[in-house]
Amino acid sequence: MKSAPLPSWHNTVARQSILGFVEAVSAENSPQFVPPAERIATLDNDGTLWCERPLYVQFQGALDFLAEKAERDPMLRAQQPYQAAYERDMEWLSVYTANEKIPELVGMLIQSAAGETQDEFEARAAEWLRTAKHPRFDRLYTELIYRPMVELMDYLRAYEFRVFICSGGGMDYVRLVSESLYDVPRENVIGSNLKLTWEQQDGKPTLVRQAGLVEPFNDGPGKPVNIQLHVGRPPILTAGNSNGDLAMMEFAAAGKRPFLNLLVRHDDAEREYAYDASAEAVQQAAKARNWTTISMKRDWKRVF
């Protein structure tokens, strides 16, 4: 007997909306039929596919790297963001984790790591992810992925959707885990891109990371631009959790095909976190436009 889809979801309006939409756009005799080539799904990562509190995973890894550098070089401890990383100054960092300030913090973090080769970065980041644990749950960050969203991606692929991760985080960073955690190929990750140069080092050619981002930053209005550049088609299904995902959802709504926008709401303080900060605008839009809101508390049988 074939198991029911989305087993970690309660049979609420959110689950029914997903099943109904996917079946409608996949059935050839349906007036809402969408050819497989146009069944594009774009899902945010932080806060949509894995836990983003108390700090974005990528930021936490970068801050640990800066703290290690400050430990070795006391002169750095008077400079930001080294000082905040070394002192674990969450009050200073909280100013820069609001959506409109994230690019500024990203710029500072990137500046501090300029000059690494791509291979050095990937080895360092992969090693951190292998051992780093969440301060509240005492589990590896890579274990704190949302099981219901993994099931959603599997379900979409079963109906010939092409699933992309569209993250404000660094594309190279998300690619390190996209295949092992989500079964999403590296080439299906859209993210913020670091500038790279092709250089000769010790007589060998290599990619070297530079202090700067390839515009646009993949958040807010940058997401539709980068989706178009990367995929060449608008999505018909999106999932996000913050104001930075609103433009991506508008891109789907502005298309000529049926669409489904899914907004993950963090409202489960017991099993995860409860917060609406940096999601006020997208929550208002979802309510006004009748987009589908997913309640962690009511819609998910399990979180991780």
Q: Domains of the chain: which residue ranges?
A: 13-53+140-299, 57-131
Phi, psi of 272, deg, nearest 5: -145, -105
Bridge partners for 294 per DSSP: 264
Instruction: Answer whether residue 12 shows pLDDT above 80.
Output: yes
pLDDT (mean) for 92-104: 71
pLDDT (mean) for 83-103: 78
pTM: 0.94
Strands 260-267, 274-275: pairing is antiparallel
User: In this structure, what DSSP letter does residue 51 have?
Assistant: -
32-39, long-range: CB < 8 A, 24+ apart = 32/258, 34/236, 34/257, 34/258, 36/160, 36/161, 37/233, 38/233, 38/236, 38/257, 39/156, 39/159, 39/160, 39/161, 39/162, 39/236, 39/237
Instruction: Answer whether residue 181 shows pLDDT above 80.
Output: yes
Which CATH superfamily includes the segment(s) 13-53+140-299?
Answer: HAD superfamily/HAD-like (3.40.50.1000)
Instruction: Answer whether residue 1 shows pLDDT above 60.
Output: no
Structure tokens at 282: 């997208």
pLDDT (mean) for 254-280: 97
Q: What is the band of 269 on the pLDDT scale with cuts at 50, 70, 90?
A: very high
